[in-house]
Amino acid sequence: MAAGRSGGKDKWVMIGQGLLQDGANIIIKSSLKIKDFMRHNPSILNTHAPLRSAAEIIVNSKIDGVPIVDDSGCMVGLVTKTLVLREMLAGTDLEIPVSQIMITKVISTGPEEDVARLITVNVGNLPVVREGKVIGIVTLSDTIRAYFSSLMTLREELNTIIDSTHNGILTVNDEGKVILINKAAEDFLGLTREAVVGQPVSKVFPQSRMLEILKTGRADFGWKIVYGDRVFISNQTPVVSSGQIIGAVAVFQDISELELISEELNYTKQMKEELDAIIESSFDGIHVTDGGGKTLHVNRAFSRITGRTHGELMGISVQELVEEGIYSQPPTSMVLSRRGPVTFSQISRPGNTVMITANPVFDKQGSLFRVVINARDMTELDILKNQLEQAQNLTRHLREKLDKFNLADQYVIRSQKSRDLVDLCIRLGQVDATVLIQGESGVGKEITAQIIHSNSTRQSRPMISVNCAAIPEALLESELFGYAAGAFTGASKNGKPGIFETAHEGTLFLDEIAELPLNLQAKLLRAIQEKEITRVGSNSPITVDVRLIAATNRDLREMVQLKEFRKDLFYRLNVVPVVVPPLRERKAEIPFFVAHFLNKFNARYGFYKNIDERAIKDLMEYHWPGNVRELENLIERVVVTYPGQIIRHINLKEMDSGVNENMHIDLFAGYKLKTAVEQLEKYLIQSSLETFGSTRKVALELGVSQPTVVRKASKYGIKIRESLKDC
């Protein structure tokens, strides 16, 4: 099939079956023979026949020549149309024998000759001769028809071959215009032959390099092309004729599936590497065999346990390992007979106790496919267990030392009494018993509870602190135990969990437990005993798990005798009593407390003040009825109010006199203790409010919480302006 511009120096053809390029001449190589299209039984004349007979045959048969044979039928000459016309113009008698004018040097062909031979013969009529006898004749028109028929057949065959090719083929001429595209290329590129042929390749297939190849004449092999969502590998080469580039052809293959296969192979390879790494990292020995017991894989641990190298074990059978004493029993035979895992213990060659576990792997047909054997060195595990226990004991010891060190950084622990207290708190942290912390107001009972909690098994859970004196009695029950939906006016429609539920799995610290009303003491006792609470307005109990720590500055035994505190609750709380000593019993810590509080308030207020040693000496001689809280408040006050950088004097006489200078002891004559205490509380709160002007400052001065000041002021009928309640 010829293509391109006709008549130019770049005339070229697609090289395929039956087509070759040779300058301007096209040679057809085909299986078409002369006998396939020759004219059979042609008209022939004897040498004695007149010239007239030859002319009549040429005219009537419309042929260019008549073969001449002798008496034996063998061809001896040829009379052509040209020869007859020349003789007639010369006036030759038409009755003369043809033997006198015939051409004796006749070009002939045989019936088995290829049609391609006729292209090189410039003859109008060509006799077909077999063994000297004329059996047919081939005319120029016969040759043209045969040539064209052969060409069309070859074209169809070539197109069929090209379209049947799985790879895409795209061809351009020397101008870069598409002249051929096969079916695979149409499918790959989503194009049609009608829309592509004659179009510039840069428009049809811009990813190709065919224009560059036309310019350079250099082929491009194995070039990866991404076209849409598909990936191709393309080979692009120039088409050269007589040393000139007359076009280019691109052959490309869709490798999208190969890309996916490659990714799958890479993933499989990665998975294999990961699996090998996991097997090799196992501390246990792993031995994998096929269904017949032949070793396929062992890890380093198995070599260590058995005392055999990897190379010695690979390919060896389990039976051989049994004979050598590596196995006391054949694991593969055992799993095959049981069709399930087997486990047995044995002594290894190095003398260690080894636990062998063999697991079968069956294929879809139920045949034994693999056996995975796990060898665990129990001797090494026993050694590791002992080492672990030693490490845990050492860790526990170091943790206790570290905890004490950390506590020393967080808290002031400088006296023997404080050290003993901290040691006791750390030990109590290891058990879940209820603790009752007793001590004067301001000694640090809540800090003691924090130390217990931070060293307990519940340290990762919260510690919830509640001051029983700071919450109004009417709200205390719902705060502790929560309430159900619609339990009272103003209650949340979804209900609310109480402090016990919030502290679940943690620690609940109840400060000033002596202030808990009697009716709530019974409910608290049930919560401690039964480990469950019931929300206000509900009948459904809720299980809670809390570690309870209570604290008080009052004598609960005396309150039990006065029937102000439940006896059964007291014994439930007083499982482990902890007494926090007052500051006056550990005055050696006062300088350290002063330094601690001084750093704290200097950082808070941006000061750089120091306290003179003589002032610290005065502080150590003071009796500190308010304990650590009183000392903290005093340091804050002098830091804020003292004008100089060095605090040289602290007036402790004002603290001794306090509110007592305006109140005579005779005022309490004739009163019972409880009434006298209430009168004193009322006086202290009222006078402090007049002096300091806010409930917050009063609470700091008296060493109680702000809600306590508000609640007791309400109890004694002391009016507080709304603007001061939160101040």
Q: What are the chain's domains?
A: 2-148 (3.10.580.10), 165-259 (3.30.450.20), 411-573 (3.40.50.300), 582-657 (1.10.8.60), 664-727 (1.10.10)
Q: How far apart are CA 340 and CA 371, in angstroms?
A: 10
* Dist. CA 705–CA 698, nearest whole Å: 9
In our burial notation (b when 16+ CB lie closer than 10 A, e otherwise), range 542-561 reads: bebebbbbbbbbbebeebbe
pTM for the full predicted model: 0.41
Question: Alpha helices, DSSP H only, in 230-329?
Answer: 256-281, 300-306, 310-313, 318-323
Instruction: Give the separation between CA 238 and CA 173, rounded to whole angstroms.
Output: 10
Token readout for 70 is 């002798």
DSSP of 53-119, one letter per residue? HHHHHHHHHT-SEEEEE-TTSBEEEEEEHHHHHHHHHTT--TTSBGGGT-BSS---B-TTSBGGGGG
What number of helices (H) and strands (E) belong to the chain? 27, 31
Torsion sign, CA atoms 306, 307, 309, 314: negative
- From 658, 726, 665, 663, select the one nearest 697 (Cα to Cα): 726
Nearest by Cα to 680 from 703, 664, 695, 692: 664
Question: Token pair of 463, please?
Answer: 């510690």
Distance CA 41, CA 35 (A): 12
pLDDT given at position 577: 94
Question: Is 123 in contact with 139 (CB distance < 8 Å)?
Answer: no
The single-letter DSSP state of residue 584 is G
Q: What is the C-alpha to C-alpha distance for residues 170 and 162, in angstroms, rounded to an integer?
A: 10
What residues contact 79, with CB distance under 8 A and at least 6 apart? 45, 51, 54, 58, 65, 66, 68, 98, 101, 102, 103
CA distance 216 to 225: 20
CB 358 within 8 A of CB 372: yes
DSSP state of 294: B
Q: What is the pLDDT of residue 1?
A: 31
Beta-bridge partner residues of 532: 543
Q: CB–CB of 283/304 below 8 Å? A: no
How far is the CA of 251 from the CAs of 17, 72, 184, 513, in angstroms? 18, 61, 10, 93
Cα distance between residue 78 and residue 101, in whole Å = 9
Distance in angstroms between the alpha carbons of the first and the last residue of the chain = 106
Give the relative orientation of helices 416-429 and 378-410 as an angle to the nearest 10 degrees. 140
Cβ-proximal residues to 672 (8 Å cutoff; 6+ apart), any chain: none
Q: Is 339 left (phi over 0), alpha (psi -120 to 50) or beta?
A: left
Q: How far is CA 197 from CA 163, 192, 193, 477, 609, in A?
A: 15, 9, 6, 93, 96
H or E, element range at 391: helix 378-410
Helical residues (DSSP H) of 90-192, grouped into ranges? 140-164, 183-189
Give average pLDDT by consecutive 10-residue segment, the chain, 727 residues.
33 32 37 80 90 89 86 90 88 90 87 74 79 85 75 77 80 88 81 84 82 85 75 83 86 73 76 83 87 88 84 87 85 85 81 85 87 83 70 57 48 80 90 92 90 90 88 84 75 78 92 90 90 87 92 91 92 93 90 90 90 89 88 89 86 60 48 74 80 78 84 82 50
Query: Which residue is listed with tokens 């393309």?
Result: 234
Question: What single string gives the DSSP state of each residue in 524-578?
Answer: HHHHHHHSEEE-BT---EEE---EEEEEESS-HHHHHHTTSS-HHHHHHHTTEEE
Q: Tokens for 297?
A: 């894989």
